Amino acid sequence: MRLVATAPLSTKEHVMRIGLIRHGETDWNAQSRLQGRTDVPLNDRGLEQAEDAARLLRGHGWSEIYATPLSRALRTAEIIAVENGLPRPSIAPNLVERSFGELEGAPVYDDNGERLPIDHPTVEPEPEVVARALAALREIATAHDDDAEVLVVAHGSVIRLVLTELLGWRAPHISNLAMSVIETDDSAAAGFVVRSANGYLIA
């Protein structure tokens, strides 16, 4: 598991850790199209990615796994859960992908390879995404013991915006099956600290 540390690991005795993982690849990922709330399933490569990641996650002490209701995240989590002997994934609806409204299905890049602006009144505002996602993560943290280690399978935009908020600088693109780790030592009352960001579980 290759993770890039952004801060020293806590030396406190009881630290609750959450591993944030982006789902496996879908056809729309491969085609560089905005997915948002559109429920696009994993493609064959995405299923293989999830299986590879599941094996790499074994033996790290994970006790539970969460996923959003969208099938690409839920199926990724199910594969990880089976391989790691975890219960069926719990659903975290407020970690669902950012809604891109009427832009869903549109290309991410123009003909020159430049990223197209996401500017439309039907797109969910970034502050609203951050607020609901952090609230969901706090809810997960408070539901577990202080030294628990849990996994959350979510979506690229949500994870990137959460990391941006916590780090104080704009996090880069989150690739499929990239993993970041956040932690808290006080049931999330004072917020989270990013311990590793955008590491790759698979090549």
pLDDT at residue number 52: 96
Q: Tell me which of 64, 78, 97, 104 is the catalytic residue.
A: 97
Annotated binding-site positions for substrate: 22-29, 72
Domain count for the chain: 1
Asked whether residue 84 is assigned to any structural domain, the reply reads: yes
Asked whether residue 145 is assigned to any structural domain, the reply reads: yes
The answer to pTM > 0.85 is yes
Cβ 158 vs Cβ 98: under 8 Å: yes
Asked whether residue 33 is assigned to any structural domain, the reply reads: yes
Q: Residue 111: give the domain boundaries.
A: 16-200
At 155, which CATH number? Answer: 3.40.50.1240
Active site residue 128: no
What string of pLDDT tens digits covers the 203 residues of the chain? Answer: 333 334 444 455 678 999 999 999 999 999 999 999 999 999 999 999 999 999 999 999 999 999 999 999 999 999 999 999 999 999 999 999 999 999 999 999 988 888 888 989 999 999 999 999 999 999 999 999 888 999 999 999 999 999 999 999 999 999 999 999 999 876 455 578 898 887 766 54
Dist. CA 2–CA 70, nearest whole Å: 27
Asked whether residue 94 is assigned to any structural domain, the reply reads: yes
Asked whether residue 8 is assigned to any structural domain, the reply reads: no
Asked whether residue 3 is assigned to any structural domain, the reply reads: no
Active site residue 97: yes
Asked whether residue 5 is assigned to any structural domain, the reply reads: no
